[in-house]
Structure 1
Amino acid sequence: MELADRGFTGSIPQLYERYMVPLIFEPYAVDLAARAAALQPGTVLEIAAGTGALTRRLAAELPPRTHIVASDLNATMLDMATALLTARPVQWQVADAMELPFADAGFDLVVCQFGAMFFPDKARAYAEIRRVLKPGGCFVFNVWDHIDSNELARAVMDALAQAFPDNPPRFIARIPHGYHDIEQLRADLAQGGFEHDADIITLPLRARAESPSGPALGFCQGTPLRGEIEARAPGRLPELTAHVAQAIGERFGVGAIDTLMQAHVIIVGR
């Protein structure tokens, strides 16, 4: 997590928020916020809040009495999140999922949107999440399914493999789409102390963009994939972003994009 976290620096948070959030994160934030609201929690901890896509939805959907703490390891991402207005006050806090700075049994609900893939020790993070949950509380999170079930991410990877046939950047497949095995998820949760069997829903949604240029900018310059590209081809980031945009256009058309993305939603009780 720490290595990947260092990739969310410089202009990446702004590009991430502008291009990646509406493209792939906002639709799943709507889903998680609805699930959270249905549980009617009094206290909520969000882990890996990033630039606040889910946080803003939680603030809008949960009743005013619900106290929301939104945390992330990366202060730069939280700075971006706090600059964007939420429907009501939220407590923002820099926090490492490996060592959560919260008391035992302090939250009715812990939520995490597309953050578990970055945990360096997933069982340890799950043990920390279980520790801060109240008895009877719930942990709700999501992770991306295999990259082959996410057509746009696959197209970006294929384009970069064409550009770097001997050493393609693997960030997207290695981390965001590298934690899709359901049995591994269950095993890690059990190792983290969750005794109840998790409810896991595979949820296909649509990734939409006005043109190929937005997704190309988002993936290539608004995620840690940027560092892998720049390490292989210093000074060529704009050129390679254009190459990815061209490849996306060839695959999905040069106009508006509407394509499949897929994730697992995991719900497990304390």
Structure 2
Amino acid sequence: MTDSDKVFAGSIPGLYDRYLGPLLFEPYAQDIAQRLADVKEGRLLEIAAGTGIVTRALDRALPPKVAITATDLNQAMLDHAMTQLRSARVRWQQADALALPFKDGEFDVAVCQFGVMFFPDKRKAFQEALRVLKPRGRFLFNVWDSLEENEVSLTVTDAVAGCFPENPPQFLRRAPHGYHDVAAIRRELEAAGFGAIKVETLPKLSRASSPRDPAIGFCQGSPLRNEIEARDPKRVTEVTEIATQAVAARFGNGPISCKLQAIVVEARK
């Protein structure tokens, strides 16, 4: 992880939500909402809510008696999320996953979609999730499997790397796809105090309206943009076009379909 891996600012939140949301995050947001179908009341904490893709899915799926607190370290992401959802039972709050600003045992459920990989101290984040959960509270999260198991992400990574062969950007490999060792995840959850750990590898087939969508999403709507700009700020548009061509060569010029693969983890206090 580098400092730039955690910078979601400027135009990134809006582009992230528009281009990567439907392709990468909505399929797994629906999965999380379905896994929580038995939650009928109580308090739910979302950690690393980002632009609110899971928040919106939970708001649609869960009964009105479930109160949702959606948090993220990046205020810019929350600011965008709040423009996408107006719900009386959702509270938005800036929060660091390593120092959650909540009392012990406040929540019945904690959820985190594709955020754990960015935490600089996973065990500390798990300990904080455990602390704010009630006895027998549930912690549900997912992480991306390896880059090689996620076709479009790998295609864009290789295309962008080819633009800077002497210093290839590796944000996607290093950060989003850098935490998929199931044995290590289990060990850190157990060390934090969690039990009844269940792990599932979950492939999905996702779609985008064109090869340009993932290229814009990754090259301009994620911290990969920060890496491109650090090498040459004038090349963002050019690199996006090269990534678009690579995605088109791999998946076709029209609407595309690609394999995603994530790891879904559930644990109990």
Same topology, TM > 0.5 = yes
Identity over the aligned pairs, expressed in percent?
53
Residue 243 of structure 2 is matched in structure 1 by 244
Q: In the alignment, which residue of structure 2 is the partner of 1:222?
A: 221
Q: Find the counterpart in structure 2 of residue 107 from structure 1.
A: 107
Q: Distance in 2 between matches of 1:188 and 1:107?
A: 21
SS of 2:38's equivalent?
Answer: helix
Q: Which residue of 2 aligns with 1:36?
A: 36
Match for 1:266: what amino acid? V
CA-CA distance at 1:36 after TM superposition:
1.6
After the TM superposition, which residues 179-218 of structure 1 pair with which residues of structure 2 at under 5 Å, given as runs?
179-194=179-194, 196-218=195-217
Report the Cα distance in structure 2 between the residues aligned to 1:41 and 1:177, rounded to whole angstroms: 34
- By how many angstroms is 1:7 displaced? 1.7
Matched residue of 1:198: which SS?
Answer: strand
TM-score when normalising by structure 2: 0.97
1-structure distance, mates of 2:228, 2:41: 42
Identify the residue that residue 231 of structure 2 maps to in structure 1: 232
Residue type of the alignment partner of 2:238:
E
Structure 1 residues 115-264: aligned runs within 5 Å: 115-194=115-194, 196-264=195-263
Output the TM-score relative to the length of structure 1. 0.96
Counterpart amino acid of residue 259 in structure 1: C
Partner of 2:267: 268
What is the total number of aligned residue pairs between the two structures? 269
CA spacing shift, 1:244–1:77, aligned 2, 3 Å = same
> How far is the alpha carbon of 1:38 from its aligned partner?
2.4
Asked if 2 retains the 8 angstrom alpha-carbon contact of 1:108 and 1:134, the reply is yes
- The more displaced of 87-96 and 65-74 is 87-96
Q: CA deviation at 1:4?
A: 4.7
1:201 and 1:95 mapped to 2: Cα distance? Answer: 28
Following superposition, the deviation at residue 88 of structure 1 comes to: 4.6
CA distance in structure 2 between the partners assigned to 1:2 and 1:62 by the alignment: 36
> Does the CA-based 8 Å contact 1:47-1:115 persist in structure 2?
yes
1:70-109 Cα shifts (integer Å, max 9, x gaps): 0001111000001112455311000000000000001010
Give the letter for the 1:249 counterpart: A
- C-alpha distance in structure 2 between counterparts of 1:85 and 1:61, whole Å: 14
Q: Which moved more, 1:77-86 or 1:172-181?
A: 77-86
Distance 1:41 1:142, change over 3 A: farther
**Contact residue 41 and residue 63 of structure 2 kept, 8 A:** no
Matches within 5 A, 1:73-88: 73-86=73-86, 88=88
**Shift in Å, 1:160:** 1.3
Deviation of the 1:37 alpha carbon: 2.2
Alpha-carbon separation, structure 1, partners of 2:126 and 2:44: 16
Q: Distance in 2 between matches of 1:190 and 1:6?
A: 26
Structure 1 residue 21: deviation in Å?
0.4
**Contact conserved, 2:44 with 2:107, CA < 8 A, in 1?**
yes
**Cα RMSD (Å) of the superposition?**
1.4
| Helix, strand or coil at the partner of 2:104 | coil
Consecutive unaligned residues in structure 2, runs of 5 or more = none
Q: CA deviation at 1:6?
A: 4.7
Partners of 2:88 and 2:249 in 1: CA distance: 43
Distance 1:2 1:109, change over 3 A: farther
- Alpha-carbon shift at residue 193 of structure 1 (Å): 1.6
- The 1:88/1:61 distance shift into structure 2, 3 A limit, reads farther
Deviation at 1:41, TM superposition (A): 4.7
The yes-or-no answer on 1:60 pairing with 2:49 is no
Matches of 2:86 and 2:172 in 1, distance apart?
29
